[in-house]
Amino acid sequence: MLIKIKNSWELSENEVTAHSVYLSRREILKTVGFMGVGAASSLIMPGIALADDGLKVQPNKYDGHDIRNELTDIRAVQGYNNFYEFGMEKDDPARNSHSLITEPWTVTVDGDCENPGKFAVEDLIDFNALEERIYRMRCVEAWSMVIPWVGVSLSEVIKKLKPTSNAKYIYFETLVDEEQMPGQRRGVIKWPYREGLRMDEAMHPLTIMAVGLYGKKLANQNGAPMRLVVPWKYGFKGVKSIVKISFVEKEPNSSWMRLAPNEYGFYANVNPNVPHPRWSQATERRIGDFRRRDTLMFNGYGEQVAHLYDGMNLRRYY
Ligand SMILES: Nc1nc2c(c(=O)[nH]1)N[C@H]1C(S)=C(S)[C@@H](COP(=O)(O)O)O[C@H]1N2
Ligand SMILES: [Mo]
């Protein structure tokens, strides 16, 4: 069943409350820990839980593991970020990303597909079919979060664009604009930020194009208006604020591969057995937790995705 999105002013208090079921007081109190209890309870108050950009979504379908009680505090999700276009420090994106203009937003699609062209976000994403997907997110820097994303399967977007049989890979680029993204004045990586997937990874039902989290539109620091989420891969695969989608035959280079090919491979599957050259990947710190926890193979999604890599040497294809 599809739930139609209404504008926030049309949402009755009942609907808002039903939507925020996963944010019940009990669960919120369990997940607090990032900055303290105080403001967290305000998240569940009708009308506050969803700001005027509230999105209506269907509940999570694909994550077999119930990790609703592990949600990372929204203030950490929106305040502790990697988005080098706005600076290198974790709090830079929240501080600096107000200069990003996300409406209107145009995405250019090119390469091996039948429907290339320029698209608005609404052309690519069916806002009547948004789903919530609660996923673990494991950054290559060995910290992690659990985030209730809002989006659609990337496969739904790709189907609209009709890739040809030549298309073996897909890649995405972030906006380049020094005015809106002041961090781009420094050449920390080669802009645009670029990431790609093999087509079968892109079509996998776990892979989503996200437009929101915690029931709201994405904040700029999380990659508004749309960003990729691939839960079994390191967070850097989740390219933000996408303005270009290309279908190609050859494995594309990503920004991180270009910067340090011995440290960042194309696949970037979460793998506790293959250390980063400068640190271990065996454990992680869940933001908000005190103790470290073991990192899971494929970030815990092995049952769903391991078959994509049958016969591949994951030390070589890291
Ligand atoms: N354009 C762009 N996308 C990006 C990044 C970036 O610096 N620029 N950082 C990546 C990294 S390293 C991580 S861990 C995630 C963090 O996503 P979040 O801040 O929304 O949690 O975004 C990824 N996407
Ligand atoms: Mo990351």
Name residues with Cβ closer than 5 Å to ligand 2, which is an ion.
82, 139-140, 235-236
Question: Which residue stretches of 79-153 are H helix?
Answer: 92-96, 121-124
CA of 307 to the centre of ligand 2 (A): 24
How far, in Å, from the CA of 193 to the mean position of ligand 1? 10
Ligand 1 pocket check for 236: Cβ under 6 Å: yes
Residue count of the chain: 318
**Owner of token pair 């820097």:** 141
pLDDT tens across 158-212, in order?
999 999 999 999 999 999 999 999 999 999 899 999 999 999 999 999 999 999 9
pLDDT at 19 over 50: no
229 lines ligand 1 (CB under 6 A): no
pLDDT digits (tens, 9 = 90+) for 231-282: 999 999 999 999 999 999 999 999 999 999 999 999 999 999 999 999 999 9
CB count in 10 Å sphere of residue 2: 10
Instruction: Output phi, psi for 203, to 5 deg.
Output: -85, -10
The residue whose CA is least distant from atom 10 of ligand 1 is 236
Q: How far is ligand 1, taken at its centre, from the CA of residue 310, in Å?
A: 28
Q: Please state the atom number of ligand 1 nearest to the C-alpha of residue 213.
A: 20
In this prediction, residue 68 carries a pLDDT of 84
In a mutational test of the pocket of ligand 1, which residue from 147, 208, 240 has the highest number of ligand atoms less than 8 Å from its CB? Answer: 240
Over residues 219-229, mean pLDDT = 98
Distance 165 CA to ligand 1 centre (A): 30
* Closest alpha carbon to 97 in 222, 232, 281, 227: 222
pLDDT at 248: 98
Instruction: Answer yes or no: is pLDDT of 34 > 80.
Output: no
pLDDT of residue 53: 65
Predicted TM-score (pTM) of the model is 0.86
> Tokens 């105080």 appear where?
38
Query: Residue 49: what pLDDT?
Result: 37
Region 62-73 average pLDDT: 79
What is 13-309's CATH superfamily?
Answer: Oxidoreductase, molybdopterin-binding domain (3.90.420.10)
Calculate mean pLDDT across residues 33-48: 36
Residues 6+ apart with CB under 8 A from 38: none
